[in-house]
Amino acid sequence: MYRIEKKTVITVIGVIIIALLLVSSAGTIGAGERGVKTRFSAIVGTVPQGLYFKIPFIESVHIMDVKTRTINYDRNGAEGDARDTSQLFGASKDLQDVSIGVVVNYHIDATKVQEIYAQYSSVANYQYNVIEPVVREIVKSTSAQYTAEELVTKRAEFSDKVNTALATQFTDKNAILERFSVTNFEFSKAFSQAIETKVTAVQNAEAAKNKLEQVKAEAQQTIEKAKAEAEAIRIQAQAINSQGGADYVALKAVERWNGILPTQMVPNASVPFINLTK
């Protein structure tokens, strides 16, 4: 009986060991991931997504994330993988301090996971030591090429220039840039007030200019109206002269006279419409 129980225990232990060996010899790589296989800590290959097998206790598979990752240097942003999500601080060409909010989307090159693992052992370390410094350096160096005012007025140009530089640097660093965007510029309070004052002055000047143009237009309308009225009078006078001049005027007056003569006469005054010399 004792021998039977001992044999049973050995069998159970054997089954457990075999199960553990089977479990530890297989695994899966999920979508958006790649595996790096090591044997006694030495890299021996890359494992694609799906089911894989390895030698238990001798080989290991390390998961590397190749999905889109987000670095958010905007303190107003709520998402991102950057360890420090405060904004980047740089200086403009005219030496104005500027806080720049940016968001970067990228993923590591799936064909370079071995190199990245060999140097940094994880994607998180790789991002912290390679990608984030590249983003900071390029954003700061590019902002120094613009004045503070130009950073605002030429925001699209600034963004395109940074995007191009990042794409090149990321490729050299075994990563692929997906999207770069500028989310915010913040200047010192004094400079912001100066910009606001300048904008207000420009708006007021533009309003005054528009008002002046309106006054000029109204004055021109008055001049044109006066010219039209003068031209009409000239045409009427020309028409009158062409039809007999003074006689024509007298005829028109007679046509409008009601036939009543004045009851009192002033010495040497003439009677309307009666000319004794004719």
- Residue written as token pair 């030429």: 154
Q: Which of 20-34, 105-119, 177-191, 238-252 shows the lowest per-residue confidence on average (mean pLDDT)?
A: 238-252
What CATH number does the domain located at 69-187 have? 3.30.479.30
At residue 112, the pLDDT reads 96
What are the Cα distances from residue 258, in Å, to 159, 172, 261, 271?
A: 88, 107, 9, 14
What are the Cα distances from residue 81, in Å, to 68, 71, 179?
A: 10, 5, 15
Encode 103-136: b = buried (16+ Cβ within 10 Å), e = exposed. bbbbbbbbebbbebbeeeeebeebbbebbbebbb
Residue 52 and residue 25: Cα distance in Å, rounded?
Answer: 8
Q: CA dihedral defined by 90, 91, 92, 98, rounded to 10 degrees?
A: 60
pLDDT tens, 252-271? 665 666 666 566 655 665 55
Q: Coil, strand, or helix at residue 109?
A: coil
What are the Cα distances from residue 98, in Å, to 71, 76, 184, 190?
A: 19, 16, 10, 12
- Percentage of residues in the chain with pLDDT exceeding 90? 42
Q: Is the pLDDT of residue 22 over 80?
A: no
At residue 79, the pLDDT reads 44
